[in-house]
């Protein structure tokens, strides 16, 4: 019930290509879905987040697609660049009555080849 399943575990994309990372959750009470980006030697940093009242959110080259009925959401990175090479984590939490508990996926290591 509390798990967030993320795939793939690793991804290699050519420069200019589209990177797609998928996540699935079980708890229908979750209502906040962020994506975090982590570079080596750094802590995760918030990249983009979505609430389930919208099906898509776009910020620059990064887009979250959200499918509430399927309990799935995905991150699309358009025109992927070598500087996007990092580990990406999806997460989920329940905002109302929230103690701050974010449930993270296992992470996806993205490598963008020049």
Partner 1 sequence: ETGVTQTPRHLVMGMTNKKSLKCEQHLGHNAMYWYKQSAKKPLELMFVYNFKEQTENNSVPSRFSPECPNSSHLFLHLHTLQPEDSALYLCASSQVPGGPSSSYNEQFFGPGTRLTVL
* Binding region for partner 1 (CB under 8 A): 4, 9, 32, 34, 36, 41-46, 49, 51, 89, 93, 95-107
Closer residue to partner 1 (CB): 17 or 38: 38
Closer residue to partner 1 (CB): 80 or 89: 89
Supply the minimum distance, in Å, between the C-beta of residue 16 and partner 1: 29
Cis upstream peptide for 102 (omega within 30°): no
Supply the minimum distance, in Å, between the C-beta of residue 104 and partner 1: 4
> What phi and psi, each to the nearest 5 degrees, are found at residue 45?
-130, 140
Closer residue to partner 1 (CB): 17 or 107: 107
Angstrom distances, CA of residue 48 to CA of 33, 37, 99? 9, 9, 21
Q: Which residues of 5-28 are buried (b: 16+ CB within 10 A; e: fewer)?
A: ebeeeebebeeeeebbbbbbbeee
Supply the minimum distance, in Å, between the C-beta of residue 50 and partner 1: 9
Closer residue to partner 1 (CB): 68 or 101: 101
């Amino acid at each position: 019930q509390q798990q967030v399943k993320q795939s793939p575990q690793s991804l290699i994309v050519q420069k200019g290509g589209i990177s797609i990372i998928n996540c699935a959750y079980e708890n229908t009470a979750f209502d906040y879905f962020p994506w975090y980006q982590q570079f080596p030697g750094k802590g995760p940093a918030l990249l983009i987040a979505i609430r389930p009242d919208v099906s898509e959110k776009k910020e620059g080259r990064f887009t979250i697609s959200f499918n509430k009925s399927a309990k799935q959401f995905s991150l699309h990175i358009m025109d992927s660049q070598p500087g996007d090479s990092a580990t990406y984590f999806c997460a989920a939490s329940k905002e109302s009555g929230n103690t701050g508990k974010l449930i993270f996926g296992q992470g996806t290591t993205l490598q963008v080849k020049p």
